[in-house]
Amino acid sequence: MNVSNLRRIGGGFIVGLGLLAFAGGCDSAGSQDRAQTPAVVPDDGVRTVTGTVRHIDLEGGFYGIVTDDGRRLHPVNLPQEFQQDGLRLRAQVEELTDRVSIHMWGTQVRIIEFQRLSPELAGR
């Protein structure tokens, strides 16, 4: 190794140490900011929705829920007695972000709690 190679290696080493020190300084400042910020409660993905059960004629057919605000939900555990096109319901659902489906329609959800709505309550 000649002297010019050593200088190049040494210069790179010094620059690397400088960057490392800078990054470390930024991290400690960020840590102090995070310590002063109040903790945020994580979103567990559970929502209460009101909507209408619909028979979706795709990929062999299945039942989905179209919510009153237009979202499409694909429940993985809709009980047989709720599998009626046009049925109004209110349900507490949990979004399942770690699953895929051949149906490619809506967001997959697991129903935690549900109730059939009578026609007079359907608009509320």
Residue 10's pLDDT band, with cuts at 50, 70 and 90, is low
- 77/106 same-domain check: yes
pLDDT at 38: 42
Residues 4, 56, single domain; the answer is no
Total domains, the chain:
2
62 plus 88 within the same structural domain? yes
Same domain, 95 and 71: yes
| pLDDT above 50 (res 20) | no
Q: First and final CA of the chain: distance in angstroms?
A: 81
pLDDT digits 0-9 by tens, 67-92: 999 999 999 999 999 999 999 999 99
Give 29's pLDDT tier (boundaries 50, 70, 90): very low
Q: Lowest mean pLDDT: which of 24-38, 39-53, 79-93?
A: 24-38
Q: pTM (2 decimals)?
A: 0.59
The answer to whether residues 58 and 78 belong to one domain is yes
- pLDDT band for position 13 (cuts 50, 70, 90): low
Q: Is 25 in the same domain as 1?
A: yes
Percent of the chain surpassing pLDDT 70: 57
Taking CA atoms, 41 is separated from 44, 45, 103, in Å, by: 9, 12, 33
- Rounded to the nearest integer, the mean pLDDT of the chain is 74
Structure tokens at 124: 């509320």
SS3 105: coil
**What is the SS3 assignment for 121?**
coil
Mean pLDDT value of segment 8-32: 50
What lies within 8 Å, CB to CB, of 78 at 6+ separation is: 53, 63, 65, 111
118, burial (CB in 10 Å: exposed 0-12, middle 13-18, buried 19+): exposed
- State how far the alpha carbon of 44 is from the alpha carbons of 68, 75, 94, 97, in Å: 22, 17, 8, 11
Q: Which structural domain, as residue segments, surrounds residue 33?
A: 1-40
Q: Is residue 96 in a domain?
A: yes
Q: Is residue 123 part of a domain?
A: no
Tokens of 27: 């991290």
* Pair (23, 63) in one structural domain: no
Tell me, yes or no, whether 121 lies in a domain.
Answer: no
